[in-house]
């Protein structure tokens, strides 16, 4: 199936299951962060497998379901589980996911991920906003023919992580008395965790956070005009920063701890800004 047909057919199925529902915000949840959906109201749950051609992740901690409903009084469509390029997925999978959010009516996308910290003071269990990125995946999902229906051939990534949204999220964090740092996120292909030498190089380049997702989604989102807010759940210290070994099961444990903070932050952020996010 073509990207266009997957988007159109999937959108029709979603609208049949949730008539008159028009989401304004898309939420994409990273490893172990699916608990956000527990706070949603008036939920309609659609397994990815029910949407022909929709990409499905096989990674532990990614539920693989679309959840429609309200959070903080805002209509949202939540993707509980994302796909990763390291799974062997085509970049077209990223286009399908993000462009379907746009096709359904979303104006903003909030991306979450599990990330390693390169800053000793930013420890596991905390959260951090992303204000810029370095793409070490050595690929771009927009390679190939441009789809003019969604955006220009040469999109700008200036203010890719919307400054106004970040200011509002920081205000919510202060209100809740949650420590909320900001950092530059390095996206690596994975699935290996980084070497100590790589982490030293990234620190030299000004990197604060490292992970295996998010940047391809940001690129596609900005290409089609969606505003982006991205938040990392700090799940581990990067290799060489701490003596603790890095392992995926520990990532999931820390994602659960940080995820509780993340859920509260996002819910209150939506509640405080529901009118602006619907325009």
Catalytic residues: 31, 62, 84, 86-87, 114, 212-213, 236, 248
What are residue 256's phi and psi, to 5 degrees? -65, -40
Q: Token pair for residue 8?
A: 């159109």
Q: Token pair for residue 204?
A: 């030299």
Nearest one of 128, 114, 123, 130 to 252, comparing CA atoms = 114
Bridge partners, residue 230, by sequence: 111
Measure Cα distances from 20 to 7, 15, 48 in Å. Answer: 18, 7, 21
Q: Are 115 and 238 within 8 A, CB to CB?
A: no
> Please, what is the angle between helix 163-176 and helix 248-272, to 10°?
100
Give residues with Cβ within 8 angstroms of 165, minimum separation 6: 108, 227, 228, 229
d(CA 191, CA 180): 27
Q: Are 188 and 86 within 8 A, CB to CB?
A: no
d(CA 250, CA 236): 8
């Amino acid at each position: 199936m073509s990207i266009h047909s997957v988007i159109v057919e999937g959108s029709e199925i979603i609208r049949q299951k949730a008539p008159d529902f028009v989401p304004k915000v898309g939420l994409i949840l990273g490893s172990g962060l699916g608990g956000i959906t527990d706070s949603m109201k008036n939920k309609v749950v659609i397994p990815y497998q029910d949407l022909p051609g929709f990409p499905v992740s096989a990674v532990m901690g990614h539920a693989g379901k679309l959840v429609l409903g309200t959070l903080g009084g805002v209509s949202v469509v939540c993707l509980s589980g994302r796909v990763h390029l390291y799974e062997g997925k085509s970049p077209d999978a990223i286009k399908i996911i993000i462009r379907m959010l746009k096709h359904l009516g979303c104006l903003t996308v909030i991306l979450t991920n599990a990330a390693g910290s390169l800053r000793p003071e930013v420890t596991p269990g905390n959260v951090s906003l992303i204000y810029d990125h370095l793409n070490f995946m050595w690929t771009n999902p927009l390679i190939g023919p441009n789809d003019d229906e969604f955006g220009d051939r040469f999109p700008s990534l200036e203010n890719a992580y919307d400054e106004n949204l970040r200011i509002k999220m920081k205000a919510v964090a202060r209100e809740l008395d949650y420590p909320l740092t900001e950092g530059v996120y390095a996206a690596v292909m994975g699935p290996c965790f980084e070497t100590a030498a790589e982490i030293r190089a990234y620190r030299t380049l000004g990197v604060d956070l490292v992970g295996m997702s998010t940047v391809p989604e940001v690129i596609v989102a900005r290409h089609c005009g969606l505003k982006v807010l991205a938040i990392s759940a700090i799940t581990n210290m990067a290799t060489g920063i701490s003596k603790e070994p890095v392992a995926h099961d520990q990532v999931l444990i820390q994602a659960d701890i940080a995820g509780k903070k993340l859920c509260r932050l996002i819910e209150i952020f939506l509640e405080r800004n529901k009118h602006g996010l619907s325009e």
